[in-house]
Structure 1
Amino acid sequence: MAQPGKTYMDDTEASAEGCRRCGSCCEEGGPALHFEDLDKIKSGKLPKSSLITIRKGELVHNPTKQGVWPAGVELIKLRGTGNTWCCCYYNRDTGCTIYDFRPHACRVLTCWDTAEIMAIMEKNTLDRLSIMEEDDELVPYIKEHEQQCSLAFLQNLLEDKSAVSASEKKRIEGLVNFDLLFRDGVVRQYHLNLEEELFYFGRPLFQLLQPLGIGIHQHKGRLGLDW
């Protein structure tokens, strides 16, 4: 992906000519979903398998701040295709394949005047618990995972990775491995596929560290971090 979790087009990419159907907004990443989209999810028009969770604190491209910042709220996005953030419903030959019931952000976006899309950024957005039923068996696992694997520390890494202490590095490495074990247990118990895992738990923690230049290696069945 070009930039972590990019959600909206920058003002600098806008055109005064109106929509040219170039597909740039779709290729830069699927939109974040809002409460106006909840019925589309409940009806199955936008199934969970097409969604990915961007957790609060995950590093994302923020066009209002012109850079990468921690997400201020949890976001639910249409997932990308392959190893890119290109919207899974975008076809380069035919365009949007769900145009008639496209998400609210897509309806609001006009790339030549981004004021309206900027105004709704991280506002009235959906999160996992607003989509799921209260009695869903996976809700307690999501809450426990959020508690045990908070992403609050990413802010410090973004500001100055070199200042991280040895003990903090060890703690983060422990979180990376706990995250994988936790996911594996839930995936096995509930027979989740990859798309479902990415909705329920977002991307693995080790992937969220990679844009910061932190590599990984395997040693005796565990992941180690290369700082």
Structure 2
Amino acid sequence: MTTRKLRAILLTISGTLFAAHLVGEVGIYAFDADKNWLLPFNMDREFNIPTLFSSSIMLACAYTLNEIKKVSEKHTSKDWGLLSKIFIFLAIDELFQIHEIFIIPDLRPYLSPALGSTWVIPYTALVIYLGWRFNKFLRSLKKQTRQKFLQSATIFLTGAVGMEVVGSYLVRSGNIRLHSIWYGSITGLEELLELLGLIMFLIALANYLIKKNGAIHLDVSIYI
């Protein structure tokens, strides 16, 4: 398995899931299809096929980051390890929608329509802090690797935060309805951008580790 083949496989699955999500949204809102059959492919729900796929990529990123930590220089090993833990948290959050704990309806009247999903406020603050925290670490990387990491983060955040803000604004300003094909398309695009960012990051990590180790070895044992 090469990183090029892996990227092609992951992109194909992502595109298929996005198409299935759109078909489901059209089926529900245009043809009154049974939601129970289509929810497993809804990219805006928790603990279904898209979220399992997304969280699996996050866990793969966490694993690869931990492997890089083992072969990295002492002064950067803590940074690789912290990134690995962050991706484990993101995988759990993706599965169980932990960020929705920070949605506080009572705050909405005092905020812009774009901030209807109030979780974007603490998470954006956390992103800014982490950007400051990893600034020195990013500067220690080679230019090409640093650019790939920043590009993948930009794509992921455009989906996770940017599209969430767009969707909230359009719904709360009355431009679209919450339960509609339009909002479903926005949430689908949000998740697709997240997947594209994650895939780019995973491939960049894999290539980085391969340059360090020559290959990535996975050993799986089953005991009966």
* TM-score category (smaller protein): 0.3 to 0.5
Q: Provide TM-score, normalisation by structure 1.
A: 0.33
Give the structure with the larger helix fraction. 2
Bigger radius of gyration among the two:
2
TM-score by length of 2: 0.33
